[in-house]
A and B are shown apart, each in its own frame.
Chain A
Amino acid sequence: MFNFLKRHRELLIVSVLLLWPLISFLTTGHRGRAPNFVDRTVLFASTPVQSLLTWGVDGVSDAVSGYVALRGSHEEALECRTELSQSQAELNALKEMQAENLRLKAMLNYSEESVDQEIVARVIGLNPSPQYLSIRINRGEDDGVRTGMPVVTPDGAVGQIVRAVGASADVMLLTDPSSRVGGLLQRTRVRSTVLGTGEGRRLAIDLVRREDDARDGDIVVTAGSDGIFPRGVRIGTLRTPERPAVGMFMKATLEPSVDFSRVEEVLVIPVTMGIPSAAMGKGTP
């Protein structure tokens, strides 16, 4: 027996190294495993390297773009001043609406769970495999980030935390083929499901009935019905809705409001399955 193992040592080792992960993949499929000791060690070693490299690359990029930006900065400053005035006017109007909203809620005796402060995180890397579209951020379990939390930018929804370890977390982007998010057409309040297509700048929309009112350019926001995102976060703009001759649902694509290849900083909303983490207790995944 020992001689047999010794004689076929190479064949046995190679077979185990090939078949063990293959069988593991075929049995667990696309779900993925919880991070084990080796995973955590690899992430512990790679996260500082990624942070350092991101800092270096961004520093050089900022220095170059800062120099280029100096040219024509006067015109830009004037444009910014105009935009600021417009934004100020919009902000005043929104404050009025917020005050009115609070009054109406008080009148209706409406109570709402308070949501914790969002966690600001920096994107330190893109996943090197094109089959799973995700990004890595520099905030993890130590900062209160947990699997399942939604991730957004001021432009709109980005994705969902799929793994959080000590000082980093991975975010599955909305464009990933496994991504599903409940959507709502802002203008007509028609519900839908937004699907990832595996492409960087296109999402698909499903379950919008062909008789529903949906037009090119309609804004789609999160419906808050998927247990991931809060209601009203912008997802994208509806493009080329088509009503096929047969079938119940229309076909349309969605242009995401976030450019996923250029996202630098994100906000993690400390809500898991629609429940604020404060209500669940800190440290509860």
Chain B
Amino acid sequence: MRFLAISALAVLLLSLESVLVKSFGFEVTRIDVGLALVVFAALRLTTIEGAFSAFFVGYVLDVFTGRPTGLYPALAMLVFLLVRAAALLVDGRSRVSYLGFTAAATVLHALLAVFFTWLTSRNGSGHVQSLSGVPLQVVLTMLAGLAMWPLLKRLDSGERPEPGVLR
């Protein structure tokens, strides 16, 4: 059920993001609303539910690029696993820690995306330019996470997941 809710939210929020980014006239800066959902899935959902949710959010982002390659579902899964591993050390249940995880995930996601596109494209250095928008992207994604928090809280079952990356 929560998987379906997150999937529908991903389509809606990415559509909204694409329109807002156009309206604001951003060039290489984006708002990683999808990542905010992946972080939530890693922190608050069960392994199976969270993994499918993260995969689908990445899949939708991949479709939105216009040239789906499989990069973003893979990155979403990597971020999902790393956030889950980090949550063993830091409790991610409060709003502040959720925003901290979202900021870290945005930086990590951008770096991994640039690395993998650099690895496979002819003009790899061109993709590095997208990193110039990362600082603003982190701030905007945190703001988006803050705005989404009340909505995401409603999806939270309130149960504390058992500790472990694949718990």
Contact = CB atoms under 8 A, between A and B. Distances in A.
Given A129-B64, A134-B67, 15 more contacts: A10-B48, A17-B51, A18-B77, A29-B121, A32-B66, A46-B14, A46-B64, A124-B18, A126-B18, A126-B26, A127-B64, A128-B65, A131-B117, A134-B66, A261-B22
Given A18-B74, A197-B126, A46 B114 contact: no
20 contacts: A13-B52, A14-B47, A21-B58, A21-B71, A22-B74, A26-B119, A30-B122, A35-B63, A42-B11, A42-B60, A46-B64, A49-B11, A50-B18, A53-B16, A129-B61, A130-B110, A132-B65, A177-B124, A178-B122, A197-B129
Given A125-B22, A195-B123, A262-B25, A30 B129 contact: no
Contacts of A129: 30, 61, 64-65, 72, 113
A196 interface: yes
Nearest to A28: B69
Interface stretch (A86-94, A182-190, A198-206, A212-220): A198-206
Contact of A163 (B67, B81, B121): B67
Contacts of A45: 11
B27 interface: yes
What are the 10 A-B residue pairs with the smallest beta carbon separation, nearest first?
A200-B27, A177-B126, A170-B66, A125-B18, A32-B67, A198-B129, A21-B70, A24-B70, A198-B126, A130-B130
Interface string A108-136: 00000000000000011111111111111
A23 to B, nearest CB: 8
B151 to A, nearest CB: 17
A22 B64 contact: no
Nearest to A196: B126
Contact of A128 (B14, B67, B123): B14
B134 to A, nearest CB: 9
Nearest to B166: A10
A256 to B, nearest CB: 11
Interface residues of B, number: 69
Nearest to A24: B70
Given A22-B74, A30-B121, A134-B66, A14 B166 contact: yes
B68 A33 contact: yes
A201 B28 CA distance: 10
Given A25-B69, A25-B70, A30-B117, A124 B19 contact: yes
B70 A127 contact: no
A266 interface: no
A21 B26 CA distance: 29
B61 A128 contact: yes
B120 A131 contact: no
Interface of B: 11-12, 14-23, 25-34, 47-48, 51-52, 54-55, 58-74, 77-78, 81, 110, 113-114, 116-117, 119-130, 132-133, 137, 166
Contacts of B31: 128
A54 interface: yes
A17 B55 contact: yes
A131 B60 CA distance: 15
Contacts of B125: 177
B114 A32 contact: no
Given A10-B47, A17-B77, A199 B67 contact: no
B18 A128 contact: yes
A192 to B, nearest CB: 16
B137 to A, nearest CB: 8
B21 A128 contact: yes
A162 interface: yes
A198 B127 contact: yes
B66 A162 contact: yes
Given A30-B117, A199-B27, A123 B22 contact: yes
A124 B61 CA distance: 16
Contacts of B67: 30-32, 132, 134, 162-163, 170, 172
A260 interface: yes
A173 to B, nearest CB: 10
Nearest to B114: A131
A61 interface: yes
